[in-house]
Amino acid sequence: MTISNDNIDYDKVWKELSGISNQAVLIVALIHLGMLLREDGNKLIFRPLGIGVNEFEALFIISSHESARPTDIVKNSLMHPAKITRVLDRLEEIGATIRVPDTADRRSYILELTKTGRELLERAIESFRSISKISFKSLNNKEYKALQSAVLKILYNRGGREIESNNNNG
């Protein structure tokens, strides 16, 4: 079933979940939020940029590591490992990344973002910020900043990089 704003009665869902513990409600809410953001991201952000969620995730992980290798994407990604080679081939094909031989291990290579890749990642992030503000318009500014900070912290920690304490995003 495709989850979208059109086919979920959130009031009904929330009432049904009210008898469950707060942690369960939070987990279910985060799952639905993630599915909605993925759907919106694909339609409104990634497709117009010529990439998908998997390419965005790989770009983010590569940008988060000093010397990113495919194994870093396997460890820090939600992608199935079998997709990673295809995703990396696609990123290289569009000029977003390059593979540099690893001088310490000639069987391996290091992934680097090109200028095009960095610009693509920044455009995707900026577009996502704009769309997320629309999606979360029911939140006041303080609530939105708290949610954004929590999500960014999770993503940066998942990507292997600590978030800067003076985060002024959004």
Give the range of the structural domain holding residue 57, as residue numbers without chain letter. Answer: 51-158
Residue 37 has pLDDT above 80, yes or no: no
How does residue 121 score in pLDDT terms, banded at 50, 70 and 90? very high
- From residue 161, how far is each of 84, 99, 102, 120, 136 by CA, in Å? 20, 21, 21, 20, 26
Return the residue matching tokens 């990507």: 159
159 residue type, one letter: G
Among candidate residues 105, 129, 103, 124, the one with its CA nearest the CA of residue 113 = 124
Question: Is position 73 within any domain?
Answer: yes
Mean of pLDDT values over 21-33: 70
How does residue 99 score in pLDDT terms, banded at 50, 70 and 90? very high
- From residue 24, how far is each of 17, 134, 141 by CA, in Å? 8, 26, 26
Question: Is position 113 within any domain?
Answer: yes
Instruction: Find the CATH number of the domain harbouring 90.
Output: 1.10.10.10
Q: Which residue intervals of 2-80 are DSSP H helices?
A: 10-17, 22-40, 47-49, 53-64, 70-76
Per-range mean pLDDT, top range of 42-56, 104-118, 132-146: 104-118
User: Within 13 Å and on the Cβ side, how many CA atoms surround 142?
Assistant: 0
10/19 Cα distance (integer angstroms): 15
Question: Is position 135 within any domain?
Answer: yes
Question: Is position 23 within any domain?
Answer: no
Residue 83 has pLDDT above 80, yes or no: yes
Provide the number of structural domains found in the chain.
1
Among candidate residues 53, 29, 50, 31, the one with its CA nearest the CA of residue 41 = 53
What is the pTM (predicted TM-score) of this model?
Answer: 0.65
Q: Specify the range with the lowest mean pLDDT, choosing from 67-71, 97-101, 155-159.
A: 155-159
Question: Is position 20 within any domain?
Answer: no
At residue 10, the pLDDT reads 57
Question: Is position 88 within any domain?
Answer: yes
Question: Is position 58 within any domain?
Answer: yes
Q: Helix, strand, or coil here: 98?
A: strand
Question: Is position 29 within any domain?
Answer: no
